Structure 1
Amino acid sequence: MLQNRVNPSGEIIRTPYRGTWLGNRGVLHNGKQEIVRFYKIKAWITCALVFRGRHRKVMQPNRWTELFFFDEATAFSAGHRPCFQCRYEDHQRFKTYWLKGNPEYGFDLKTPVAEIDNILHQERMNTHKTKVTYQEKFTDLPDGTFVIIQDQPYLLKNSQLHLWTPAGYNKGILLPDLHQVKVLTPKSIVNMFRAGYVPQMGISITTTIK
Structure 2
Amino acid sequence: MIDAVVDISHHQQMTVDFVAVASSGILGVIHKATEGLDFTDPMYASRKPLALREGLLWGAYHMGHNEDGAAQAEFFLKTVQPGPTDLLALDFEDLYKGAEYNMTLQQAEDFVQAVQQATGRYPGLYALNDYLLQNGAQNSAILQQCWLWIAQPDDEAEPSHPAQWSTWTLWQHTNGKPGVGVPPFAVDGIGLCDRDFFNGSADDLRRLWGVAPAS
TM-score by length of 2: 0.30
